[in-house]
């Protein structure tokens, strides 16, 4: 025969409602701020059919604007400066990939000069960035 008192036994469980509330607020904050972080330099990309792919690390994006200005991610530089910067990056990680974004109105020679600087730096993986066909 077990001894019982008049009190009920309390359950010791974690209340997850405050945790869910905090996670939902963080989700909304990240959803609002994420598009702002990836604005970069504005160029009018050529259109092409193809599937998008994802990367595991910070991508190296070389941008050539309509005026012929060259940017590595968001830093403006000349093709020789670009080559020097990429040589330093390749020294740390020789398998890095570079993505080239060029405006549709940029001179062909400017794009070739940037591609040559990337190649001279030792980058063997050069991807061309386009906008999806029909995306105006």
Q: pLDDT tens-digit profile of 99-136?
A: 888 888 888 888 888 888 888 888 888 888 877 765 55
Q: Delineate the domains of the chain, giving CATH numbers in brackets.
A: 47-132 (3.30.420.270)
Res. 83 pLDDT band, cuts 50 70 90: confident
Helices and strands in the chain, H and E counts: 3, 7
- In the numeric block, which tokens belong to residue 90? 């390749």
The whole-angstrom separation of Cα 44 and Cα 4 is 78
Beta carbons of 98 and 125 less than 8 angstroms apart = yes
pLDDT tens sequence across 22-40 = 999 999 998 888 777 665 6
| pTM for the predicted model, two decimal places | 0.55
Q: How far is CA 2 from each of CA 6, 11, 51, rounded to the nearest angstrom?
A: 13, 20, 69
Which are the contacts of 74, defined by CB distance < 8 A and separation ≥ 6?
40, 41
């Amino acid at each position: 025969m077990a001894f019982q008192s008049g009190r009920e036994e309390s359950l010791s469980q974690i209340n997850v409602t405050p945790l869910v509330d905090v996670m939902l607020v963080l989700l909304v904050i990240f959803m609002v701020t994420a598009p702002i972080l990836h604005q970069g330099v504005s160029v009018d990309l050529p259109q092409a059919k193809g599937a998008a792919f994802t990367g595991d690390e910070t991508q190296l994006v070389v941008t050539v604007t309509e005026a012929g200005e060259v940017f590595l991610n968001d830093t403006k530089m000349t093709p020789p400066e670009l080559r020097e910067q990429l040589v330093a990056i390749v020294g740390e990680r020789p398998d890095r990939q570079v993505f080239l974004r060029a405006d549709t109105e940029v001179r062909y020679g400017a794009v070739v000069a940037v591609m040559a600087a990337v190649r001279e730096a030792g980058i063997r993986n050069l991807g061309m960035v386009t906008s999806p066909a029909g995306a105006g």
